[in-house]
Amino acid sequence: MENIIIFDTTLRDGEQSPGASLNNKEKLEIAKQLESLGVDVMEAGFPISSPGDYEAVKTIAKEIKKSSVCGLARAVKADIDAAYNAVKYAKLPRIHVFLATSKIHMKYKLKKAESEILKTAAWAVQYAKKKTKDIEFSPEDASRTEPEFLYKILEAVIAAGVKTVNIPDTVGYATPYEFGRLIKGIRENVANINKARISVHCHNDLGLAVSNTLAAVINGARQVECTINGLGERAGNASLEEIVMAIATRKDIFKVKTGVRTKELYKTSRLVSKLTGILVQPNKAIVGGNAFSHEAGIHQDGYLKERLTYEIMKPEDVGFGETRLVLGKHSGRHALRARLKKLGYTLNDAEINKAFGRFKRLADKKKEVYDEDLSTIVEDEIGANIQEAYKLESFYIISGNEVTPSAKITLKHKGKKIIAISTGDGPVDACYKAVERIAGLKPKLLSYDLKAVTAGNDALGEVTVRMRLGKKEVNARAASTDVVEASLVAYLNAVNRLLFRKQ
């Protein structure tokens, strides 16, 4: 299978996303991750654009060894000099020269005639070529350029020595069929095209960047320019992760491969999102938080019977961890049973039915039902099954501002009474320490909440505790007119739940 060169421009076009600018340290961190990801070329910046960008490209060029490091330049001497001076430290340096070729750009932006553009392009390539071997040329706004003029300019730059001719859909105007035909037309009409590789660079203004890129691949493009998370000018560039996974998943259609280590995709996406501050939408293909989540009961049921019913890629192939079956109001019994099993509860049909009813009522109120909610539901619903390993018989406390708080607790365990005495920072702490002594456990108290559930002097105090033992976390609750008793019973309930989970 032929290889597709992955040209990542996250650090150049991606950084042109409004609000995405990165400092040099951040750019280097991303560059290193792009190298681990296995991109063939990284466009590290536009060195003439600012002293900071120049320095960033230079630093990246010095550090990166496996990927080619590229700097962007307009077809002018100062830009090419700056790009070369920044990338020359790289093991594999590349200069990317661009010049607009569409009528609109030539007339209004450059105010130059076709003949002048043709001369400038050839001159720029020859000039860059004297500095380093690997030169890429982009006729900016190629998709809106007159095809005949495009063929002419490509022939001229190839004759001048470029190795890669990049066809940008600068304003995201092309459609897949049309863009594919443009690449085919270039292959058929540019006499020396076999001396260069065809690359494409698609913007996403109509949401077609990835489709256009893939249409170009089918028609012979062998380099694709793209960015992590599809970042880039305006609506962004073609997304690297989507292109790579489309090629990997539909080998039958594309019949090409890439050198990207797909297991690094999610990590790279997270890093870019963190450093640019641009969040990834949850439903983004490949790297969105929901890309491997199923909520509909029918889907969850199908997935549990056979993954392939609803999954075309494995989450672990993109480094995502595992498929998530989100338990919400659309979920069914099958998913609930599977999740409970994973949490360690094997319930009979009657118990499942009871838990399912409670679960659905909760799901109507909450967007997502978490594992902790499920544990509480199950343990409440089938509470009888939680063997109360320890039961409170009696307690006695001494507390005051001139004594050390202490507690004497009597618990019943396997028919026997066990007594422990302890001191603590307060009466509740003393009680908890005494319970720990009897049970031989030292759980971590994560939270303790006390609230009045009724009004007046005889109000019921309700205590909720959250505790962790090893990897297990539980919530427990108790109410009493005596807040120390409520605290003690809530703690004891949590200890019993932890022991139940342990079993």
Min CB(449)–Zn ion separation in Å: 54
- DSSP element (H, E) containing 224: strand 223-226
Residue 234 or residue 502: which is nearer to ligand KIV going by CB?
234
Residue 9 or residue 375: which is nearer to Zn ion going by CB?
9
Asked if 169 is part of the footprint of Zn ion (rule: CB under 5 A), the reply reads no
Contact 47, 55 (CB under 8 A): no
Residue 102 interface partner, choices ligand KIV, Zn ion, none, CB cut-off 5-8 Å depending on type: none
Stretch that binds Zn ion, among 9-17, 112-120, 276-284, 347-355 (CB under 5 A): 9-17
Spatial distance between the Cα atoms of 313 and 375, rounded to a whole number of angstroms: 31
| Cα radius of gyration rounded to whole Å, the chain | 33
Residue 124 or residue 369: which is nearer to ligand KIV going by CB?
124
Residue 294 interface partner, choices Zn ion, ligand KIV, none, CB cut-off 5-8 Å depending on type: none
Residue 13 or residue 155: which is nearer to Zn ion going by CB?
13
CA distances from 453 to 158, 425, 478 (A): 81, 26, 11
Residue 485 interface partner, choices ligand KIV, Zn ion, none, CB cut-off 5-8 Å depending on type: none
Spatial distance between the Cα atoms of 396 and 399, rounded to a whole number of angstroms: 10
Residue 81 or residue 205: which is nearer to ligand KIV going by CB?
205
Residue 140 interface partner, choices ligand KIV, Zn ion, none, CB cut-off 5-8 Å depending on type: ligand KIV
For every residue of 153-193, DSSP letters joined together read HHHHHHHHT-SEEEEEETTS---HHHHHHHHHHHHHH-TTG
Residue 493 interface partner, choices Zn ion, ligand KIV, none, CB cut-off 5-8 Å depending on type: none
Min CB(42)–ligand KIV separation in Å: 14
Residue 138 interface partner, choices ligand KIV, Zn ion, none, CB cut-off 5-8 Å depending on type: ligand KIV
Residue 164 or residue 276: which is nearer to ligand KIV going by CB?
164
**Total of chain residues touching Zn ion, rule CB under 5 A:** 1
Identity of the residue numbered 282: P
Residue 13 or residue 134: which is nearer to Zn ion going by CB?
13
- DSSP element (H, E) containing 266: helix 265-276
CA distances from 277 to 16, 285, 354, 377, 419 (A): 13, 19, 45, 38, 57
Min CB(233)–ligand KIV separation in Å: 7
Q: Which DSSP category does 332 fall into?
A: -
Spatial distance between the Cα atoms of 262 and 247, rounded to a whole number of angstroms: 11
Residue 201 or residue 294: which is nearer to Zn ion going by CB?
201
Please report, as ranges, the residues that interact with ligand KIV according to CB under 6 A: 13, 98, 138, 140, 166, 168, 170, 201, 203
- Closest Cα to residue 464, out of 481, 446, 440, 482? 446
Residue 98 interface partner, choices ligand KIV, Zn ion, none, CB cut-off 5-8 Å depending on type: ligand KIV
Min CB(209)–ligand KIV separation in Å: 10
Among 4, 11, 12, 13, binds Zn ion (CB under 5 A): 13
Min CB(150)–ligand KIV separation in Å: 13
Min CB(138)–ligand KIV separation in Å: 4
Min CB(169)–Zn ion separation in Å: 9
Residue 39 or residue 430: which is nearer to Zn ion going by CB?
39
Strand order in the sheet with 461-469: 444-452, 461-469, 472-480
Spatial distance between the Cα atoms of 358 and 380, rounded to a whole number of angstroms: 10
Read off the tokens for 217: 């691949």
Spatial distance between the Cα atoms of 249 and 265, rounded to a whole number of angstroms: 14
Residue 496 interface partner, choices ligand KIV, Zn ion, none, CB cut-off 5-8 Å depending on type: none
Identity of the residue numbered 279: L
Min CB(170)–ligand KIV separation in Å: 3
Min CB(237)–Zn ion separation in Å: 6
Query: What is the sign, positive or negative, of the torsion defined by CA atoms of 299, 302, 304, 309?
Result: negative
Identity of the residue numbered 8: D
Placement of tokens 């501050």 in the chain:
277
Beta strand 197-202 with 164-169 is: parallel
Q: Which residues bind Zn ion (CB under 5 A)?
A: 13
